[in-house]
Amino acid sequence: MLPEIPADSALARLFRQERAREAAIWFSLPGGQTLYAAGDPADQLFILRAGRLGAFRREAGQEPQFLGVIRPGEPAGEMALVAGVPHSADVVALRDSEVIALPRDVFLDACQADASVMTELARLMILRTRQAASRGPMGEPSVFGFTPVGQPGALRPTVERLEREIGRLGYSVTTVGVEAASAPTEWFSEVERAHDFVLYVAEADDGGWRHVVARQVDRLFRVGRGDRRPPRGDPAGLVASPLEAQQLVDLILLQPAGTLRPRGSEAWLDAIGATRLFHLRRSTDEDVRRLARVLTGQSVGLVLSGGGARAYAHVGAIRALREHGAPIDFVGGVSMGAIIAAGVAMGWDDAEMDRRIREAFVDTSPLDDIAFPILAMTHGLKVSERLAQHFGDVQISDLWLPFFCVSSNLTTGAYHLHRRGLLRKALRASIALPGVLPPATDGADVLVDGAVMKNFPADVMRAGQLGPIVGVDVTTARSITADDVARPASVWRWFRTGEWRNGPPIVSLLMRTATVSTGRDLAAAREATDVLVLPEVAGIEIRDWKAYDRAVEAGYQATRDALSKLTRPVTELRRRASLAEEAERARLAPFGGARTAAAE
């Protein structure tokens, strides 16, 4: 059984050599099984004959990062094999797969007999390395499934709307339903090979076809009605264990026209165990366009750093992005950046964002409820009251956009990622500057400002979405000076002028100490960012809550400048080439780039 690769390719010729043909081992790898794990010796070259493999990187204390898929005819583990080093990632079967393995010594001998084999493999490794270095798309999912939970109504019309939006982005795409239930395996392979994207859809009464869809796709979307409770046990449900085990099952909740705010999404997440949640309003096309961007790797993630009053610059950055026409599909932040990011996820427009931030932080200081410093310089009651006023009892899962914020867990010594739960509680933890605000608690854990451990979490955003990331960082400008920590010349004048409402100089010292990023963390965050915005806020004191207009203008101008330097729209910064574009590229340059996967 030869791999499904072009007959004239060097890898195909490899298996025509007698020794390679005799030494090759064919085996079946059930969905969910691991082909190899990070750290395993690279003593075999693997070529996928049928099915799909997924590559994942897992680091201690962090969520697994999905690197991409490996398709039929593509090798896996070739970089580590050639380099003679252990594998650096896990490779797992996303569906039942067939794999051919060739021992390392046989492969190297075959390369000596036919140098073109190593030349072709070297070209593939160079392409993959360039893609990784440029943070470009690598082996992204291209086959998606949509199955119902309960009785959400007919799904195919919604999936066909999604198909049309993907087509408008320049890709070939098709929707396949129960009519293909009796098609042979070769038919599915040909459809997937002939289209950039394939969307499999099952309806509530499609029976066994639902199970076929769950076993045939790279990523699965379960679809329910957001205005109803999830069915108990989902008796018509299905088991998608390989995808669930690798956190590749998402949830779409269809929201009726006129819905002001989703409700009850936490119960759906508990029932489904989905990795991501998307709300889709039937009355608007924008949510369908957003989902099309997510599937094609063109969704835009926005990450906002902490930085005290300097984080007002994020308000201007958001206004500039909207004026530029750049969508915001995912949003996350830390400390004050988390507050503003939450406003975006709530659906606040520019006017509402401006009004609410002024009310909460500018009109009166949020830090003037000075306390006897047993736990902190302030009681923190005003901050909690303002969070309740502006965010109420909204759950993170009920936000219109996928949102996260970060706090620092002093109990475990690691950053704490908030993706679910009460929004204002997560925000209160994310802005709990040590010494300034009392810490928050989560059970026995003590949580403080996320900036202490991760002040610019662009790498967290990268682990959760494949599209371009815009990052706004207000912490790198020159900050605290000796003048900022000087003792007031006159305590009476300090009180009389109202400067005390900003807190004593120690507040600046504590805030700046908490928002200094290490070189390693900053480098990792910037590496994950496609558009980096650095507002000029050096002249704004970190606790100057009245400096709103200056900070907003700095963020607005810096973002406009960054966007003006782009040669293409933000959404296309990581755009994968379509099959038609690849064919044209190959015609013009026989050794041009080809679609590849992240196999290492």
Which positions are annotated as active-site residues? 335, 449
Secondary structure, 3-state, 360-414: HHHCCCCCCCECCCCCECECCHHHHHHHHHHHCCCEHHHCCCCEEEEEEECCCCE
| Residue type at position 67 | L
Choose among 84, 90, 85, 80: nearest CA to 35: 90
The distance in angstroms from the start CA to the end CA of the chain is 24
Give the Cα separation of 347 and 342 in Å (integer): 9
Give the Cα separation of 270 and 258 in Å (integer): 25
Secondary structure, 3-state, 333-351: EECHHHHHHHHHHHCCCHH
Give the Cα separation of 149 and 230 in Å (integer): 8
User: In sequence order, what DSSP letters do the residues of 145-187 get, joined into one string?
Assistant: EEEESS-----HHHHHHHHHHHHHTT--EEEE-GGGTT--HHH
Hey, how many other C-beta atoms are within 10 angstroms of the C-beta on 211?
15
Do 521 and 456 form a contact (C-beta atoms < 8 A)?
yes
What residues form DSSP beta bridges with 56? 66, 90
Q: Which two tokens mark 48? A: 């996928």
Q: Which two tokens mark 453? A: 């451990």
Helices (H), 169-259: 185-194, 208-216, 241-245
Using DSSP's 3-state secondary structure scheme, residue 541 falls into coil
